Structure 1
Amino acid sequence: MSTEDQPPVTPVLTPKQAKRANATVTGMLISTGVCVALFLGVFFLNPASKAEVYERNVDVQQVAQSAASAAEFTPASPKLTDEWTSNFARWNSASGVGVDSWEVGYLTPKGEFIQLSQTDTANPTWIASQTESAPVTGEREIAGVTWELRDRPEDDASLIADLGDTTIILRGTADLGEFDTLATAVINQQKQ
């Protein structure tokens, strides 16, 4: 009788062999359960982020006084109401475009952001960098000073003005009314 005529052999497993064959499936389920438990443990032990964790109120006037020794101009540190907060104030020595600049980040009363950048050595490359190359879309008259408006839909707006010997750029997500408030405070400080 040839091997082709023989019926296929059905393996018969002993109880011990059947137990060992099922052990891999059981082990896989147990290891998956342990991994999920570890992940959930780490996930629930990690504290949730809260908005107030990111809120800081930097003393802009104090940092501006420190930066004044490095700058060849008076860094803008406008006086604003307590509803405005600042989350950073810093002096940047010759950034990527070779321009020393003063920067302050403001959180507006409506929870939006405006960055003030100031330098006495502005050049087209620095201005393009600060405004993300947004096109000029108009002008705004604020407290007797004409500001160039640059923006594009769904992006930050920027206001640019030459005040004294410096160029000031305000850029952010706030509405133009809040830009006007900050620009007016900067102008008032520059007049002092």
Structure 2
Amino acid sequence: MAAADDRTTGEATRPSAGRRGLASVRNMVVSLVVICGGAFALVALNPGDQPEGSTPTVSYDVEAATAARAAPYELLVPEGLSSDWRATSVRYQPAGDFGATWRLGFLDPDEEYAALAQADGAPDDFIEEITQGATDTGETASVGGRDWARYEGDKYDALVLRDADVTTVVLGTAPLDRLTHFATALTPEPVQG
């Protein structure tokens, strides 16, 4: 008769305290799984935690063409490197501490860094900054019939060519033969338009 009385009065029967406790634990576990899953997804998608060799490849054709029109010197780009050389960074700065600056970074086939840097500002300051303190060895490397000064440093080694209107530096963690190969591939970017 008590059940009939509950229906007629409109009062719902409440679950016992034990059942409410189980529902709370279940809801807490579900919430914890959702939160941990979201946190795991954020960590997995974090670019800082990507495995070695995941440096993105960039295209530099448009930037090189644009920079060649703006640069007050003959802008160089590599031609004929094999496809396992990957461009990873490109930047042209029309005016800065070292004048107009062109930078193009690559990873060689062994994932070692090799880069080109050109500027028309004070050569000594530019070389010091771009090579992060590498020093002139007094030796040269012949590239394309011209003698490039060899620099060695704790972080980067470099080949440096000083012309009247521009200083060109090929630098990196790549071995000297790779830096020389990279320097040999440099050709003037055609100025269009």
TM-score range, shorter chain: 0.5 to 0.7
> C-alpha root-mean-square deviation of aligned residues, in Å?
2.8
Per-residue CA deviation, residues 51-83 of structure 1 (Å, 9 max, x unaligned), is: 56532131x333111112221123211212212
TM-score for the superposition, normalised by structure 1: 0.67
**How is 1:1-192 mapped onto 2 (pairs within 5 angstroms)?**
41=37, 43-46=39-42, 47=44, 49-51=50-52, 53-58=54-59, 60-79=60-79, 80-95=81-96, 97-137=97-137, 138-153=139-154, 155-162=155-162, 165-186=165-186, 189-190=187-188
Contact residue 93 and residue 101 of structure 1 kept, 8 A: yes
Residue 98 to residue 152, structure 1, CA distance change in 2 (3 Å): closer
In the alignment, the residues of structure 2 paired with residue 86 and residue 55 of structure 1 have an alpha-carbon distance, to the nearest angstrom, of: 8
Per-residue CA deviation, residues 27-65 of structure 1 (Å, 9 max, x unaligned), is: xxxxxxxxx98985455223152456532131x333111
SS at match of 1:181: helix
Residue 39 to residue 169, structure 1, CA distance change in 2 (3 Å): farther
Corresponding pairs, count: 154
Per-residue CA deviation, residues 124-169 of structure 1 (Å, 9 max, x unaligned), is: 212211122222123222232211111135x211110135742211
Show structure 1 runs of 5+ residues with no match: 1-35
SS at match of 2:78: coil
Contact residue 142 and residue 180 of structure 1 kept, 8 A: yes
TM-score for the superposition, normalised by structure 2: 0.67
SS at match of 1:54: coil
Kindly provide the amino acid, as one letter, of the partner of residue 152 in structure 1: G
In the alignment, the residues of structure 1 paired with residue 127 and residue 163 of structure 2 have an alpha-carbon distance, to the nearest angstrom, of: 15
Mean CA deviation greater in 135-144 or 62-71: 135-144
In the alignment, the residues of structure 1 paired with residue 159 and residue 35 of structure 2 have an alpha-carbon distance, to the nearest angstrom, of: 48
Q: Select the structure with the greater relative contact order (CA < 8 A; seq sep ≥ 6).
A: 2
- Aligned-pair identity in percent equals 25
- Name segments (4+ residues, structure 1) moved above 3 Å: 36-43, 50-53
Contact residue 147 and residue 159 of structure 1 kept, 8 A: yes
Kindly provide the amino acid, as one letter, of the partner of residue 71 in structure 1: A
